[in-house]
Amino acid sequence: PYRQKSLGSGFIIDRDGSILTNNHVVENAQKIVVKLADGQEYEAKVVGRDPKTDIAVIKINAKGNLPVAGLGDSDRLEVGEWVMAIGNPFGLDNTVTSGIVSAKGRQIGQGPYDNFIQTDASINPGNSGGPLINLNGEVVGINTAIFSRTGGNIGIGFAIPTNLVQELLPQLKGNGKVTRGYLGVAIQKVTPEIAESLGMNRARGALVADVSKDGPAEKAGVAVGDVILEFDGREVTGSTDLPILVARTAVNKKVRLKVLRDKKEVTLTAAVGELKEEKAAASG
């Protein structure tokens, strides 16, 4: 039978042979072969994968002094800053392209944990999993997607910020997966019109559109129509904040929720559950 081959990119983050790449590059692979810049090839095994953020860690057993890419602080990136993308677009080894950071915190409909760096550095098929590097030589992102109607580069590429990667790395390397908190609510954006109708002085928080039966939120007394203003002492400035805050919370931790109900603020206590794969990630 015919076996399909696909190409992607990655970069070494540890002298033990750990490599960062995209989950979609390796998730269906029966065999993974890593080719280094010096031409040497090694078979790799998957250490950990996280489909929700499209991050994967694989590992090779290579002897010698492996070159390691240092991870920088992606939060310090500024719009307009020069960056370089390295990868293997269309199988063209070690291709380097350059551009600027076009925007930060982009949401492109991939899921509730969207927080992409947008760049106009040329990113094409095969670049997935490769590093986005600043002028200090630090990796600030993992190139992951392009916005294109043709499949080719049109100057809109996206990378996963390294600060998100570093947050998840211990779980990926230690457990092979990421465990996330679960609240059990479906939420929507609080628009200026909704805010006005609820007597709010500005649009903020996350409006509860549905509550999962027997979920942590229902047990805590959260109701449809509530606006969640704070989660575990942190302000929910918009609906996109809540899934991230919940996901980062330890399972079984008791947290305080400040909600707006009937134009009054109410404080509730919820015990955070564990997000299962079959549960809708968008529900938080």
Note the pLDDT tens digit of each residue in 123-156.
Answer: 887 888 999 999 999 999 999 866 555 555 567 8
Q: What are phi and psi of 61, to 5 degrees?
A: -100, 90
Q: Is the pTM of this model over 0.75?
A: yes
- Binned at pLDDT 50, 70 and 90, residue 258 comes out as very high
Instruction: Please pick, among 54, 74, 212, 226, the residue that the annotation labels catalytic.
Output: 54
φ, ψ for residue 232, nearest 5 deg: 55, 40
Per-residue DSSP letter, 97: E
What's the chain's length in residues? 284
* C-alpha span between 214 and 279 (Å, rounded): 13
Catalytic status, residue 102 = no
Query: Which two tokens mark 2?
Result: 């015919």
Banded pLDDT at 282 (limits 50, 70, 90): very low
Residue 278 reports pLDDT greater than 60: no
Question: Sign of dihedral through CA atoms 68, 78, 136, 34?
Answer: positive
**From-to residues of CATH 2.30.42.10 in the chain:** 181-283
191: Cα separation from own chain's centroid: 25
Catalytic residue among 128, 212, 239, 283: 128
18 has catalytic annotation: no
7/117 Cα distance (integer angstroms): 22
What is the rounded CA–CA span in Å between residue 25 and residue 15?
Answer: 22
Which amino acid does the sequence have at 163? N
pLDDT of residue 94: 83
Give the pLDDT of residue 281. Answer: 39
Q: Where in the chain is the domain with CATH 2.40.10.120?
A: 1-178
Report residue 173's pLDDT band, with 50, 70 and 90 as the boundaries. very high
Which pLDDT score, from 0 to 100, does residue 88 have?
A: 86
The CATH number corresponding to 181-283 among 3.40.718.10, 2.30.42.10, 3.40.50.720, 2.40.170.20 equals 2.30.42.10
Q: Tokens 């350059």 sit at which residue? A: 98
Catalytic, out of 24, 98, 210, 232: 24
Among 194, 201, 269, 193, smallest CA distance to 230 is for 269
pLDDT-derived band at 83, boundaries 50, 70, 90: very high
Q: Quickly state the pLDDT bin for 90 (edges 50, 70, 90).
A: confident
CA-to-CA separations, 204 to 182, 195, 242, in angstroms, rounded:
21, 8, 11
Which DSSP symbol is given to 149? S
Residue 257, pLDDT > 60, answer yes
Kindly tell me if the per-residue pLDDT of 177 is higher than 70: yes
Domain 1-178 CATH assignment equals 1.20.58.220: no
Split at pLDDT 50, 70, 90, the class of 283 is very low
For the chain, first and last CA: distance in Å? 42
- Catalytic: 210? no
- Measured CA to CA, the distance from residue 34 to residue 60 in angstroms comes to 8
Mean pLDDT of the chain: 89
Instruction: Give per-residue pLDDT as tens, 182-205.
Output: 999 999 999 999 999 999 999 999
Q: What are the backbone angles phi and psi of residue 246, rounded to the nearest 5°?
A: -65, -45
